[in-house]
Amino acid sequence: MDLGLGGRTAIVCGSSRGLGRACAGELLRAGVRVVINGRNEDSLRRTADSLRRETGGEVVAVAADLATDAGRQALHQACPAPDILINNNGGPPFRDFRELSPADMERGIAMNMLVPIQMIQAVVDGMAGRGFGRIVNFTSVTVRMPVAGLELSSGARAGLTAFLAGVARSVADRGVTMNQLLPGYFRTERLQEGFEADAKRSGRPVDEVAGDWTKQVPAARLGDPAEFGKACAFLCSAHAGYITGKNLLLDGGLHRSAF
């Protein structure tokens, strides 16, 4: 399917690895000029080189900490008028909520709620003025169901979801859509870190922990980041203009509900 995105521009936050990288790759394949972002300059440069080889697309790499004003400004200077914004920020590490310091909590809320809002504030009026915009926020299945050790991430992402529910509808008549993707258990470094944290806490082998997590999923497997990237690219496409203010679960049936 032609996504109708040739010649568009996108900012993809947190895209040096994992689900952010997968989304950047799919947008590049659709003909989008993509600005990728991460905090580690060497890692980001390697990702940019790899994406160029894989897709032949135009990639701009901006190493920046988006929790800072300077970091967000650097990203906007590299792409002052994006058609697409993908908000993806690394969540707090797996940790018992009793161990969270005030600084931990402030950082978690900043990265998983405040920074995405600030990014949207900077671009949404421009998108509305041009009559086209796609904003996709990566949250988590934990917005809908608890996962031990991820309470801070869950709370901050749920706050983002609630905040944007009205915002999405305020610009829907000007060609701007705003949706959330809620990943379940995907094969990423972050999930592997979760396995290792669980193994350390329980004293069990990492492979055993990984197997137990996988057994929870009705699809009987972990998600492939490429699947997530394709879903993200569709929400950004010219065909998704009537989808806004929604939360799409990609979890292999993990969250059990009728609605």
The kind and range of the H/E element at 108 are helix 102-109
**Which residues in 73-89 are b (16+ Cβ under 10 Å) and which e?**
ebbbebbeebbbbbbbb
Which one has a higher pLDDT value, 130 or 189?
Answer: 130
- Give per-residue pLDDT as tens, 59-82: 999 999 999 999 999 999 999 999
Mention every residue, 6+ apart, whose C-beta is less than 8 A from residue 5.
27, 30, 31, 32, 83, 84, 233, 236, 237, 238
pLDDT-derived band of residue 197, with 50, 70 and 90 as boundaries?
A: confident
Amino acid letter, 193: E
pTM (predicted TM-score):
0.94
The SS3 assignment for 116 reads: helix
Tokens for 257, please give them.
């509900």
The total of other beta-carbon atoms located within 10 Å of residue 145's CB is: 16
Q: Is residue 185 pLDDT above 80, yes or no?
A: yes
The SS3 assignment for 150 reads: coil
CA distance 161 to 138: 10
CA distance 236 to 136: 8
CATH entry, 9-187+223-250, from 3.40.30.10, 3.40.50.720, 3.40.50.2300, 3.40.50.300: 3.40.50.720
- Long-range contacts formed by 150-154: CB under 8 A, 24+ apart: 150/91, 150/92, 150/94, 150/194, 151/97, 152/91, 152/92, 152/95, 152/97, 152/100, 152/104, 152/105, 152/108, 152/109, 153/91, 153/92, 153/108, 153/112
Amino acid letter, 89: N
CA distance 188 to 14: 13
Return the residue matching tokens 């749920």. Answer: 158
Look up residue 186 and give its DSSP letter.
Answer: B
- Give per-residue pLDDT as tens, 79-131: 999 999 999 998 787 888 999 999 999 999 999 999 999 999 999 999 999 99
% residues pLDDT > 70 (the chain): 100
- Give per-residue pLDDT as tens, 14-40: 999 999 999 999 999 999 999 999 999
